């Protein structure tokens, strides 16, 4: 008999190299308690995009089964993420006249709608609309509701992505017999898991280096300002090792994970690594420093591309908190040191801040996205409870459930986020354009 939980949420990170599912309970005080974790090698994805639905479904099912067994529960709904080189970020503004000289939630919704009125390609859809600042009669404010004024303006960050890529992720999840409560941008999710409010206020660049993509998010004054996805990441390091050392790709991945060092000067020249040969060729020995000599140029390239994104964003001089590295590739020794050489800013490794049950199993940059998805779920529950309490409802989670299951945006009663428009039952959860 399955264990009874009061309020379960599930994060599902469908990555290029691995699928990770984490089950957590939202406690009455609003905190998370992890109950189950499942991981599986990912098949069917390339650079963050589904290219084989059947293979992806099998990987998801394997991770979910493991998480269900550990938590002793049945998973029916998930929060999952999306990334890929199709992701585009831009900033926009909107303005409306305040009808009653006092800003209401209706005014906030109206002004955000005007900011969303931008031209995007027909094959793209909005994935995120986040308010950065509001301006009332020329004065910048963070929370405008209840304030007096005649003219309300807003600055927003809008992220769009390929409709087909999002539909295929949702299709894979539904083939597993599950529903998607919310489709969240991976960089947005990771930021919830590893960044502090102070870092976002003072200026920080979050660099999530996975297997297939490198996601870059820039924050200043507490809000996201720039989003970009670079289609170069850890898989190319593996490919470099396989080609340079003439070893099978599977063995190259193991060598990278177990012995890889991003900065050659930090590698021990006396430590030897066994390198399997191709076909019937026997293994040979190689120094760890020589291996680092293969890895370092590719990591330098990734960091140089990230640095270019930061420079072109116009926010490079505002990043007082420096750079935070997360994702599976960030685990490699030497990443922080090489990053500081290239960015000329403080660099740290971003670990999930979760400190509850089973924290030792998710205390890694590899878990940043999935733990961020759980944080998105927790925030949605909290916002739903507040909205329900304000409306005098007796079931505090119903509002969040209804909005989240039908929309791709965060379910929110906060003026900083724009909720989605409900779609037909069973259809893809698209917001209005």
| CATH label of the domain that carries residue 281 | 3.30.420.40
Confidence class of residue 407 from pLDDT cuts 50, 70 and 90? very low
Closest CA to 327 of 116, 186, 128: 186
Statement to judge: residues 225 and 304 lie in one domain: yes
Would 415 be classed as within a structural domain?
no
Statement to judge: residues 266 and 255 lie in one domain: yes
Q: pLDDT tens-digit profile of 245-289?
A: 999 999 999 999 999 999 999 999 999 999 999 988 999 999 999
Would 206 be classed as within a structural domain?
yes
Would 400 be classed as within a structural domain?
yes
Confidence class of residue 381 from pLDDT cuts 50, 70 and 90? confident
Statement to judge: residues 20 and 167 lie in one domain: yes
Statement to judge: residues 227 and 262 lie in one domain: no
Statement to judge: residues 132 and 72 lie in one domain: no
Would 431 be classed as within a structural domain?
no
Statement to judge: residues 182 and 204 lie in one domain: no
Q: pLDDT tens-digit profile of 172-181?
A: 999 999 999 9
CA angle, 126 then 130 then 134, to 5°: 135
What are the angstrom distances between the C-alpha of 20 and each of 78, 150, 229, 262? 12, 49, 21, 25
- What pTM was computed for the model? 0.87
What's the total number of domains in the chain?
4
Statement to judge: residues 48 and 183 lie in one domain: yes
Statement to judge: residues 132 and 92 lie in one domain: yes
Collect all residues with Cβ–Cβ distance below 8 Å to 354 and sequence separation of at least 6.
Answer: 32, 34, 193, 362, 363, 371, 374
Averaged over 199-225, what is the pLDDT?
96
Decide if pLDDT at 378 tops 80.
yes
CATH classification at residue 113 = 3.30.1490.110
Tell me what pLDDT residue 35 has: 93
Domain that residue 213 falls in: 196-232+299-349
Statement to judge: residues 110 and 148 lie in one domain: yes
Average predicted confidence (pLDDT) for the chain: 88
Collect all residues with Cβ–Cβ distance below 8 Å to 257 and sequence separation of at least 6.
Answer: none
Q: pLDDT tens-digit profile of 115-146?
A: 999 999 999 999 999 999 999 999 999 899 99
Tell me what pLDDT residue 391 has: 55
Statement to judge: residues 240 and 364 lie in one domain: no
Statement to judge: residues 154 and 92 lie in one domain: yes
Statement to judge: residues 260 and 372 lie in one domain: no
């Amino acid at each position: 008999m399955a264990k009874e939980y009061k309020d379960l949420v599930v994060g599902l990170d469908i990555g290029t190299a691995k699928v990770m599912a984490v089950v957590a309970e939202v406690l009455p005080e609003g905190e998370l308690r992890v109950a189950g974790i499942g991981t599986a090698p990912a098949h069917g994805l390339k650079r963050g995009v589904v290219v084989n639905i059947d293979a992806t479904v099998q990987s998801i099912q394997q991770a979910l089964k493991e998480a269900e067994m550990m938590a002793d529960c049945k998973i029916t709904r998930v929060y999952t993420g999306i990334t890929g080189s199709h992701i585009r970020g831009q900033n926009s503004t909107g303005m409306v006249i305040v009808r009653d000289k006092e800003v209401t939630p209706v005014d906030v919704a109206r002004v955000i709608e005007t900011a969303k009125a931008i031209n995007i390609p027909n094959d793209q859809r909005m994935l995120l609309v986040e308010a950065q600042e509001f301006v009332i009669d020329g004065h910048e404010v963070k929370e405008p509701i209840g304030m007096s004024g005649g003219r309300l303006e807003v600055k927003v960050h809008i992220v769009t992505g390929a409709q087909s890529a999002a539909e295929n992720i949702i299709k894979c999840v539904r083939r597993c017999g599950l529903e998607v409560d919310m489709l969240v941008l991976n960089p947005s999710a990771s930021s919830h898991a590893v960044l502090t409010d102070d870092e976002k206020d003072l200026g920080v660049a979050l660099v999530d280096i996975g297997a297939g993509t490198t996601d870059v998010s820039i924050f200043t004054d507490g809000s996201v300002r720039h989003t970009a996805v670079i289609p170069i990441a850890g898989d190319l390091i593996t490919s470099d090792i396989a080609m340079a050392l003439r070893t099978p790709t599977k063995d190259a991945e193991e060598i990278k994970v177990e012995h890889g060092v991003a900065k050659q000067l930090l590698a021990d020249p006396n430590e030897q690594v066994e390198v399997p040969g191709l076909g019937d060729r026997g293994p040979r020995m190689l120094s760890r420093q020589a291996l680092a000599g293969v890895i370092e140029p590719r990591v330098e390239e990734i960091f140089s591309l990230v640095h270019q994104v930061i420079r072109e964003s116009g926010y490079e001089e505002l990043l007082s908190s420096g750079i935070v590295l997360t994702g599976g590739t960030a685990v490699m020794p030497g990443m922080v040191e090489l990053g500081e050489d290239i960015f000329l800013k403080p660099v740290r490794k971003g670990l999930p801040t979760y400190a509850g049950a089973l924290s030792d199993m998710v205390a890694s940059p590899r878990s940043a996205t999935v733990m961020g998805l759980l944080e998105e779920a927790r925030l949605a529950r909290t916002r739903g409870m507040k909205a329900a309490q304000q409306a005098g409802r007796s079931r505090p989670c119903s509002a969040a459930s209804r909005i989240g299951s039908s929309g791709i945006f965060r379910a929110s009663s906060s003026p900083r986020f724009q909720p989605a428009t409900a779609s037909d039952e069973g259809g893809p959860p698209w917001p209005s354009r």
